[in-house]
């Protein structure tokens, strides 16, 4: 492939003069700027000590206009640049985002898209400052930097950042950061969120805040290394061009703005915009929440005993992700994960910056939907992700490939904590019990029999999961994912264009996925696909959680259903296709076997490791539902009638959970309730509750005996043992709750 020199926005590469440090504002080095900023925050509790937002008060129109223009430039860069990409993940689903940072690395504004990255780019910039790049590596106009090293500021390996410094009269005035989610990043197996990776050395291509270009051109050696290091070099190349072009558009727009308003006013604006973000969060807390202490816990099952490849990972693990939050009397918000599990031989290790990103993406959706979305909210929350735990390992040797496996369950607990506060305050409409975690439905790739070309499999229709219920209505059906509020299923045809060897046979609602409750969770959906005219096809399924729940419902609502796996090899589909027949569903697990002959592999786990598939093999995956809210017996009959008619639930489940009995006409999809039988069934359910329950006090006695006998599954024992080994306060609280001696331990031999 011939490489045209990259000149964007008509800026010829020889226009740049070298700048000598210091490159910060008013003769400061970047390190001095960063130190001063941190000191002022510590001394005053306010960003850069801005007590009063003078510009906002004195010239509000100018101030708001500057923010709108920056925000517009970021959104515009994203909307334009995504057309350069060839990857459906980027182009169709919009898995990219652009951010603008201050010289010392604080986010001023962000585009739409995968906004989880607001704080990850910040950490990468701060790393470069602290490592003295200004003096050693040098930071020059026209430079291009790249980072996807999770430990330094990234969410997971497949997210790649391109950072460019923006200069104005030899001063660094900002950084622009573009991030896209790559469909392949090299690594031990195909796929963008690997399952098999247990250490960094299996993760794939890493750029560690690396200078990858100057004078607006990407170095040839970097381009060659990256293209040779990933399985999809064409996607890589175009995604990189997309990030660079978008960042250059932002530079152009910012330069125009500064030309117009003057650099001093721009600088003051950035300080105030971030402080405003911080103040907005504090005032929102007082306006919407209730002071007090909130606790919840999530769990991440890692069922690798039978599936794991690396011998050290061949065990069933359960990660503990507890979240205690404090809404302070002063409007402060704190979050503490003391008691989190240690890191492990799995791809779910998560750097602190990614956890901060998850916090931020959550707060912008529940508390800050209309505020100035920037690092101000980061400064307003006091978060403790304990060092050495799975949510802040501080160890670059671990695998961070699928950090979402810690982020997504954790924020279920955060959302519940905040929702309890909303409820207490009367804002029932803002309650959200959580969501279905997206996992990765299907990943891998194969070769097209006709063209001999490699195609990746990475459908991002997984961004359409069931949302949790609120305290005033059901959760959204198949239309939500926590990491990108602009979720989109994408057209089937678009996926088939890229994923040539895996056409779809069906897409429809998956019954019985939605969490039960007075308000049910949003429903999930399922799809069947067939391997077609391909060879060397390797796929894995990475849907979480499978063997346990990761979260609960709220206020009497149930957790959503768990996930499972099924696939069929050596099928009779070739013959079926001749008769224009084929299976379309596994609506109730086991249905599929009725419509296809072959070797069915069905497990309780939502995952399977990379597996070879042949033509006419059948691939199945489904998206989960959201958690429910409130006692199911409080759910109105008309909503249940609708649930049955839309196939959100099947009649047997509605009868046993909600006590509603009647006749469902499967053809017309009409349900007629039998009021007498329903009255009787509901009375029976209440009676069952009475008979099958015991006092919590006696339950505690029984469970305590069980703990003393260590009568627990291996993964549960392993979880307690790992947390006890870390020796923090959580273990003491555990012993205290169960009234166990101080030296009580749970060990894994």
Partner 1 sequence: MSTDKSQIEKLIDGTLPWPELRDDVLPDPKDPERFETTIEILQERVDWDDRILVPLNDHLYVVAGDDGRTVKAECGHELCSADENWKLECDIRAREEQEETAELYPELMTPDPDWTFQIREYFCPECYSLLDVEAVPAGYPILQKFEPDIDTFYEEWLDQPVPDGQ
| Interface positions, 592-611, toward partner 1 (CB under 8 A) | 602, 604-605
Residue 51 burial (C-beta neighbours within 10 Å; 0-12, 13-18, 19+): exposed
Nearer to partner 1, 693 or 743 (CB): 693
Is 316 a binding residue for partner 1 by CB under 8 A? The answer is: yes
| 559 touches partner 1 by CB under 8 A | yes
Enter the tokens of residue 330.
Answer: 């002063």
Q: Which stretch binds partner 1 (CB under 8 A): 83-91, 379-387, 721-729, 731-739?
A: 731-739
Residue holding tokens 């994203």? 78
Residues 452-471 touching partner 1, rule: CB under 8 A, are 471
Cα 99 from chain centre? 18
Footprint on residues 397-416 left by partner 1 (CB under 8 A): 416
Looking at 21, 49, 556, 598, which residue binds partner 1 (CB under 8 A)? 556
- Rounded to a whole number of angstroms, the minimum distance from the CB of residue 560 to partner 1 is 9
Closest-CA residue to 301 (of 518, 105, 563): 563
Q: Does 689 bind partner 1 (CB under 8 A)?
A: yes
Q: Are strands 333-336 and 381-384 parallel, antiparallel or unpaired?
A: parallel
Paired tokens of 202: 């299996």
Q: Judged by CB, which is closer to partner 1: 187, or 553?
A: 553
* Segment 644 to 683, residues that bind partner 1, using CB under 8 A: 650, 653, 656-657
Which of 519, 620, 621, 658 forms a contact with partner 1 (CB under 8 A)? 519
The residue assigned the tokens 């909307």 is 79
Estimate the crossing angle of helix 696-708 against helix 729-738, to 10 degrees.
120
The one among 228, 295, 646, 675 contacting partner 1 by CB under 8 A = 295
Nearest Cα neighbor of 346 from 385, 297, 393 is: 393
How near is the Cβ of 327 to partner 1 at its closest, in Å?
Answer: 8
Within residues 216-255, the interface with partner 1 by CB under 8 A covers none
In this complex, which beta carbon is closest to partner 1, that of residue 531 or of residue 723?
A: 723
Longest CA span, the chain: 85
| Nearer CB in complex with partner 1: 384/650 | 650
Q: How far apart are the C-alpha atoms of 341 and 706, rounded to whole Å?
A: 22
Are the C-beta atoms of residues 660 and 672 closer than 8 Å to each other?
Answer: no
Containing 364, the helix (H) or strand (E) segment is helix 352-366
- Contact in structure between 498 and 96 (CB atoms under 8 Å): no
Q: What's the CA gap between 37 and 649, in Å, rounded?
A: 55
Tokens 């609708």 sit on residue:
642
From the CB of 710, what's the least distance to partner 1, in Å?
Answer: 9
Q: Which of residues 225, 241, 288, 569 is near partner 1 by CB under 8 A?
A: 288
How far from 514 is each of 32, 545, 627, CA to CA, in Å? 53, 14, 7
Q: In this structure, are residues 317 and 308 in contact, taking their beta carbons and an 8 Å threshold? A: no
End-to-end CA gap in the chain: 57
Q: Which residues contact 62 (CB under 8 A, 6 or more apart)?
A: 55, 261, 265
533's CB contacts (< 8 A; 6+ apart) are 448, 449, 450, 500, 501, 615
Q: What does R_g of the chain's alpha carbons equal in angstroms? A: 27
x-or-dash string of contact with partner 1, 608-637, rule CB under 8 A: ----------------------xxxxx-x-
Q: Which of residues 571-590 bind partner 1 (CB under 8 A)?
A: 588-590
Tokens of 403: 């950090």
Residue 571 near residue 596, CB atoms below 8 Å = yes
Q: Is the dihedral of CA 310, 312, 314, 316 positive or negative?
A: negative
Q: How far is the CB of 469 from partner 1 (least distance, A)?
A: 10
Q: In this chain, which stretch among 134-142, 196-204, 264-272, 734-742 interacts with partner 1, using CB under 8 A?
A: 734-742
- Burial of 107 from C-beta contacts in 10 A (0-12 / 13-18 / 19+): buried
Among the listed ranges 152-160, 192-200, 526-534, 716-724, the one in contact with partner 1 (CB under 8 A) is 716-724
User: Does residue 742 bind partner 1 (CB under 8 A)?
Assistant: no
- Given the rule CB under 8 A, which of 5-13, 436-444, 576-584, 708-716 is the region that contacts partner 1? 708-716
Footprint (CB under 8 A) of partner 1, residues 423-442: 423-430
Residue tagged 């890692």 (tokens):
302
Length of the chain: 749
Using CB under 8 A as the criterion, what x/- string covers residues 340-379 for binding partner 1?
-----------------------------xx---------
| Residue 726 touching partner 1 (CB under 8 A) | no
Among positions 165, 301, 357, 662, the unique one binding partner 1 when judged by CB under 8 A: 301
Q: What's the min distance (Å) between Cβ of 655 and partner 1?
A: 10
Choose the stretch contacting partner 1; rule: CB under 8 A; options: 261-269, 454-462, 528-536, 706-714: 706-714
User: Applying CB under 8 A, which part among 151-159, 199-207, 441-449, 556-564 lies near partner 1?
Assistant: 556-564
| Helix intervals (H) in 131-232 | 150-153, 220-229
- Retrieve residue 588's tokens: 């109730």
Binding residues for partner 1, total number by CB under 8 A:
98
Of the pair 16, 738, the CB lying nearest partner 1 is at 738
Which range of residues in 92-100, 249-257, 444-452, 561-569 is near partner 1 by CB under 8 A?
561-569
The verdict on 564 binding partner 1 (CB under 8 A) reads yes
CB of 182 to partner 1, least distance (A): 32
Residue owning tokens 């803002």: 430
Q: Is residue 489 part of the contact set for partner 1 (CB under 8 A)?
A: no
Does residue 211 come out as left (phi exceeding 0), alpha (psi in the -120 to 50 range) or beta? beta
We find the least distance from the C-beta atom of residue 651 to partner 1, in angstroms, to be 12
Residue 700 Cβ, how far from partner 1 at the closest point, in Å? 8
* Binders in 36-65 for partner 1, by CB under 8 A: none
Among 715, 721, 722, 723, binds partner 1 (CB under 8 A): 715
- Considering only residues 320 to 339 of the shown chain, the ones binding partner 1 according to CB under 8 A are 327, 329
Q: Which of residues 107-136 bind partner 1 (CB under 8 A)?
A: none
Given the rule CB under 8 A, which of 16-24, 191-199, 205-213, 288-296 is the region that contacts partner 1? 288-296
Nearest to partner 1 of 663, 711 (CB atom): 711
Q: Is 157 in the site for partner 1 (CB under 8 A)?
A: no
298 with 409: CB under 8 angstroms?
A: yes
**Residue 7 vs 603, nearer CB to partner 1:** 603
């Amino acid at each position: 492939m011939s490489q045209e020199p990259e000149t964007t926005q008509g800026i010829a590469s020889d226009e740049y003069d070298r700048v000598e440090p210091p490159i910060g504002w008013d003769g400061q080095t970047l390190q001095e700027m960063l130190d001063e900023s941190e000191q002022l925050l510590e001394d005053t509790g306010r960003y850069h000590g801005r007590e009063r937002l003078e510009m906002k008060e004195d010239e509000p129109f100018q101030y708001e206009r500057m923010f709108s223009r920056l925000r517009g430039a970021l959104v515009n860069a994203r909307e334009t640049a995504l057309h350069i990409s060839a990857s459906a993940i980027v182009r169709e689903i919009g898995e990219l985002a652009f951010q603008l940072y201050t010289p010392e690395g604080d986010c001023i504004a962000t585009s739409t898209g995968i906004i989880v990255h607001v704080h990850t780019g910040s950490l990468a910039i701060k790393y470069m400052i602290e490592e003295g790049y200004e003096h050693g590596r040098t930071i020059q106009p026209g430079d291009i930097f790249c980072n996807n090293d999770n430990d330094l500021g990234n969410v997971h390996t497949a997210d790649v950042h391109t950072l460019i410094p923006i200069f104005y009269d030899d001063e660094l005035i900002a950084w622009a950061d573009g991030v896209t989610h790559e469909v392949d990043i090299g690594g031990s197996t195909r796929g963008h969120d690997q399952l098999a990776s247990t250490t960094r050395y299996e993760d794939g291509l890493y750029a560690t805040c690396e200078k990858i270009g100057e004078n607006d051109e990407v170095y040839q050696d970097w381009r060659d290394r990256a293209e040779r290091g990933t399985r999809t070099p064409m996607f890589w190349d175009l995604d990189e061009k997309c990030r660079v072009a978008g960042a250059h558009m932002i530079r152009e727009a910012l330069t125009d703005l500064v030309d117009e308003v003057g650099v001093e006013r721009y600088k003051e604006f950035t300080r105030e915009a971030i402080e405003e973000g911080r103040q907005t969060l504090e005032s929102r807390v007082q306006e919407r929440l209730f002071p007090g202490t909130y606790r919840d816990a999530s769990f991440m099952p890692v069922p690798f005993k039978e599936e794991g490849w690396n011998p050290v990972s061949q065990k069933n693990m359960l990660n503990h992700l507890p979240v205690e939050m404090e809404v302070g009397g002063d409007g402060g918000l704190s979050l503490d994960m003391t008691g989190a599990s240690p890191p492990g031989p799995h791809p779910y290790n998560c750097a602190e910056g990614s956890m901060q990103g998850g916090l931020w993406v959550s707060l912008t959706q529940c508390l800050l939907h209309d505020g100035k979305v920037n690092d101000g909210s980061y400064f307003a929350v006091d978060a403790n992700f304990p060092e050495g735990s799975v949510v802040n390992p501080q160890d670059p040797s671990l695998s961070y490939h699928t950090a979402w496996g810690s982020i997504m369950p954790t924020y279920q607990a955060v959302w519940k904590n905040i929702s309890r506060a909303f409820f207490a305050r009367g804002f029932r409409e803002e309650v959200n019990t959580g969501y279905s975690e997206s996992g990765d439905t299907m990943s891998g790739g194969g070769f097209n029999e006709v063209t001999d070309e490699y195609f990746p499999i990475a459908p991002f229709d997984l961004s359409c999961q069931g949302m949790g219920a609120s305290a005033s209505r059901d959760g959204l059906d198949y239309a939500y994912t926590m990491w990108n509020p602009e979720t989109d299923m994408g057209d089937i045809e678009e996926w088939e264009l890229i994923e040539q060897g895996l056409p779809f046979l069906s897409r429809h609602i998956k019954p019985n996925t939605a969490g039960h409750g007075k308000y049910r969770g949003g429903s999930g959906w399922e799809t069947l696909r067939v391997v077609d005219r391909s060879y060397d096809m390797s796929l894995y399924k990475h849907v979480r959680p499978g063997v346990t729940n990761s979260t609960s419902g709220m206020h009497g609502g149930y957790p959503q259903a768990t996930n499972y796996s099924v696939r069929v090899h050596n099928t009779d589909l070739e013959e079926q296709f001749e008769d224009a027949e084929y299976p379309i569903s596994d609506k109730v697990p086991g249905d599929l076997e009725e419509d296809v002959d072959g070797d069915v592999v069905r497990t309780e786990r939502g995952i399977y490791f990379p597996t070879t598939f042949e033509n006419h093999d059948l691939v199945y995956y489904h998206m989960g539902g959201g958690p429910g809210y409130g006692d199911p017996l409080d759910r109105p009959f008309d909503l249940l009638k609708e649930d049955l008619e839309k196939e959100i639930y099947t009649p047997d489940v509605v009868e046993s959970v909600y006590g509603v009995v009647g006749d469902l006409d499967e053809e017309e999809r009409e349900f007629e309730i039998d009021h007498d039988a329903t009255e009787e069934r509901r009375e029976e359910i209440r009676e069952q509750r009475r008979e099958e329950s015991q006092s919590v006090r006696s339950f505690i006695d029984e469970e305590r005996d069980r703990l003393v006998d260590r009568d627990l599954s291996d993964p549960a024992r392993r979880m307690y043992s790992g947390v006890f080994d870390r020796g923090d306060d959580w273990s003491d609280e555990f012993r205290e709750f169960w009234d166990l001696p101080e030296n009580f331990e749970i060990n894994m031999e």
